[in-house]
Structure 1
């Protein structure tokens, strides 16, 4: 079973989006950045530093059972050119050439490489086409697969309940 931590997920998201202000100093206070919760997805919005533009994202964070150092942060953003981006942040130390695999309800969707690693993790990002959005909207569970060691693929399940409602409210 996985533990979902929405606030931690967004803190990692913020670390990967340096234009957004950090929430770390105010971690114990109620979080006004959460605009809604849809299933296990949190809709988070922050005003970007140096502008009045607001950046919003659907965010979900999951830890692997029995492996507290293995967690993923899944972030859905509106792309600047239109459409949506799926961004997944995996922990440092995973086997990067193995990439990030995705299955939805037992069906292999594909695999992508990691783009870059920062202090808080390694990021993979793909543009979400209509087919992928549909699978996320109608599916039950997305299984993201990473490799902590060369021969050990580990799948981390992300519940998809609430995704369609959250995406519809993503400004």
Structure 2
């Protein structure tokens, strides 16, 4: 595990208490377009759901990872989104569901694998994601916006498994 990933996990843990380790989602479990993903960090298992968006050459371009945490004793979801290097950091990341913008998210850190954005998903956003068909991820390169699409097929069952 690289140092930046460790720092990101530590930062999230400082903001939120991890939900109990009895995750219903299993590593590798498939929910149509989403997959369960678990890893250990400092002796604890952390699980969530993820989807990797690939380009026309089948190369991974965007990774979306959603997990459940407790914030002020209330369950909440957090999305971690990794995009390639070379994005305009000041513009942030745009998210839309079925082409209706739901959030503009600042980047938190870039590492050799890409730039990361972290978005707390309040109930209103979760409901939009559950009822949508596609999620658009917009990134700004040198004065050119690129929009990538992730399928939301299976996301409701995947979120319920967290």
Gaps of 5+ in 1: 1-13, 21-32
Q: Indicate yes or no: 2:151 matched with 1:159.
A: yes
Counterpart secondary structure, 2:156: helix
Counterpart secondary structure, 2:124: helix
Gaps of 5+ in 2: 10-25
Taking the aligned partners of 1:95 and 1:63, their CA distance within structure 2 comes to 20
Map of 1:55 onto structure 2: 46
Map of 2:63 onto structure 1: 73
Counterpart secondary structure, 1:79: strand
Map of 1:38 onto structure 2: 31
Taking the aligned partners of 1:157 and 1:125, their CA distance within structure 2 comes to 18
Check the 8 A contact 2:27/2:47 in 1, yes or no.
Answer: no
2:94 counterpart (98, 101, 114): 101
TM-score of the superposed pair, with normalisation by structure 2 = 0.78
RMSD: 2.2
1:142 counterpart (126, 135, 146): 135
Counterpart secondary structure, 1:132: helix
TM-score of the superposed pair, with normalisation by structure 1 = 0.74
Kindly state the Cα deviation for residue 91 of structure 1 after the two structures are TM-superposed. 0.9
Number of residue pairs aligned between Structure 1 and Structure 2: 141
Deviation by residue 1:141-164 (Cα, 9 ceiling, x = unmatched): 0000001222x1011000001101
Taking the aligned partners of 2:78 and 2:40, their CA distance within structure 1 comes to 19
Counterpart secondary structure, 2:147: strand
Taking the aligned partners of 1:135 and 1:91, their CA distance within structure 2 comes to 26
Kindly state the Cα deviation for residue 65 of structure 1 after the two structures are TM-superposed. 3.0
Map of 2:77 onto structure 1: 84
Taking the aligned partners of 1:72 and 1:79, their CA distance within structure 2 comes to 22
